[in-house]
């Protein structure tokens, strides 16, 4: 009998259970979500979730995610995840003239999950169900929020490789549509599509965007537009879809970027201090 596609949950930041009191208590113990049980660290080896999450209350209930990351302010998606990840396996080496001084090439990505029964996107007509950009997509399992049984995935669901072509078009004109971070600082506005799956599981669609690490924080929340632009002037002609990510979520994402930038600073500081005086500019 054909196996059903299973939902799995992101392995993520551990939420440690509080130690039991010495004396018996009449207070009921907190019921942990599946995510919390899997991330508690008491069941052996597990894969830690690198993502910063926000989602609806319904998603938390359906997927067994912690209620603390829910938000009623979330608009246009049912869930979003932000993380910083290596861009492939190669590293940049030769810092400070030392061939062994290497650092990974890091990238910030934003994953969006849509309820396609109500949150309908203007997909390019004839585009494949699932696709990814081989040069930009580094995560084959969509971050692990929802997985699919590779045995039951039919051949038509196998990814095709596209190169920098947006999978969204204006249904009226057929022109390309692009995701834009509204109000972002220069150089971080347009978000390139890295991967997508229009039917990742059940009623969900999935989209992975190259967010860039310079676009946080957004003090009043972050708005994303899927829009039609004039190719010459980049003037926005129309907005076909909007996503809003609340400020509290953006602040948590900004903290991750801050910590990683501190690590980068320490790396470059070590390179500088390791250089001979005559080699320093």
Instruction: Tell me what pLDDT residue 41 has.
Output: 64
Could you tell me what percent of the chain has a pLDDT over 90?
31
In terms of pTM, does the model score above 0.85?
A: no
* 111, 149, 206, 281 from 176: Cα distances, Å: 20, 32, 19, 46
Alpha-carbon gap, residue 87 to 48, rounded angstroms: 19
The two tokens of residue 268 are: 């470059």
Q: Are 256 and 217 in contact (CB under 8 A)?
A: no
Cα–Cα distance, 11 to 143 (Å, whole number): 9
Both tokens of 100, joined, read 């062994």
pLDDT at 58: 93
The structure tokens listed for 205 are 């669609």
pLDDT at 215: 58
pLDDT at 202: 81
Q: Which 3 state secondary structure label does DSSP give 161?
A: strand
pLDDT attached to residue 50: 86
- For residue 8, the model assigns a pLDDT of 30
Low-confidence ranges of the chain (pLDDT < 50): 1-28, 137-157, 161-163, 186-188
pLDDT at 134: 58
Per-residue pLDDT tens over the stretch 242-251: 999 999 998 8
């Amino acid at each position: 009998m054909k196996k059903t596609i299973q939902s799995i949950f992101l392995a993520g930041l551990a939420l440690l259970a509080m130690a039991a009191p010495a004396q018996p208590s009449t207070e009921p113990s907190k019921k942990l979500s599946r995510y919390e049980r899997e991330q508690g660290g008491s069941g052996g080896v597990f894969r830690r979730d690198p993502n910063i999450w926000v989602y609806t209350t319904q998603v938390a209930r359906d997927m067994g995610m912690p209620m603390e990351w829910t938000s009623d302010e979330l608009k246009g998606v049912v869930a979003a995840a932000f993380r910083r990840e290596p861009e492939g396996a190669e590293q940049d080496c030769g810092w400070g003239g030392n061939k062994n001084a290497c650092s990974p090439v890091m990238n910030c990505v934003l994953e969006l999950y849509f309820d396609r029964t109500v949150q309908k996107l203007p997909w390019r007509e004839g585009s494949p169900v699932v696709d990814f950009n081989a040069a930009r997509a580094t995560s084959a399992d969509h971050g692990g929020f929802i997985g699919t049984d590779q045995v039951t995935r039919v051949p038509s669901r196998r990814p095709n490789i596209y190169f920098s072509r947006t999978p969204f078009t204006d249904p009226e004109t057929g022109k390309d549509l692009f995701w834009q971070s509204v109000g972002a600082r220069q150089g971080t506005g347009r978000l390139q599509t890295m991967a997508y799956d229009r039917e990742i599981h059940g009623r969900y669609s999935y989209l992975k965007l190259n967010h860039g690490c310079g676009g946080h924080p957004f003090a009043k929340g972050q708005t994303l537009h899927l829009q039609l632009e004039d190719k010459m002037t980049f003037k926005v002609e129309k907005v076909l879809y909007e996503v809003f990510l609340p400020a509290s979520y953006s602040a948590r994402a900004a903290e991750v970027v801050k910590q990683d930038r501190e690590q980068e600073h320490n790396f470059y500081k070590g390179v500088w201090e390791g250089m001979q005086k005559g080699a320093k500019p």
